[in-house]
A = this chain, B = another copy of it.
Amino acid sequence: MGLTKIDAYSSETLHKAAIFKALGHPARIAILEYISKQTTCICGEIVAELPLSQASISRHLSELKAVGLIKGTIAGTSVCYCLNQESLPLIIQFSNQLHSPTPQTCCP
């Protein structure tokens, strides 16, 4: 069917899944890593950095922005994107939540 039963999950679960889904594409990973390498924000040099069309890059950027992983502000004729640092703790928290200090004895 290709249709996720979203009404079966808590909004918190859906939110986490949405964040990770946005991270689940190599182009978006590359974009985030590129942004994080710059000390200042970046605009559209990513088009030169990745072998994707401007339309595709813009799409990926809007997906990252939709889930709050990046912010973007218009700067003249270009757009300045930067990481939303506030979105990162959620990722770490999820990983910490999964982690158990007591090693499990099954599944060697």
| Residues in A lying within 8 Å of B, measured CB to CB | 4-6, 8-9, 13-14, 16-18, 20-30, 32-33, 36, 39-41, 50-52, 71-73, 75, 80-85, 88, 91-92, 94-100, 102-108
Contact B107 A80 (CB under 8 A): yes
Contact A95 B88 (CB under 8 A): yes
The 10 closest A-B pairs by CB, nearest first: A21-B24, A20-B23, A71-B107, A9-B26, A41-B106, A17-B26, A20-B24, A24-B24, A91-B95, A82-B107
Contact A29 B13 (CB under 8 A): yes
Chain B residues contacting A94 (CB-CB under 8 Å) are 23, 91
Q: What are 18 A-B pairs with beta-carbon distances under 8 A?
A: A4-B27, A5-B27, A5-B52, A13-B30, A16-B26, A17-B26, A18-B24, A20-B20, A22-B24, A36-B97, A40-B104, A40-B106, A81-B107, A85-B99, A88-B98, A88-B99, A91-B95, A92-B96
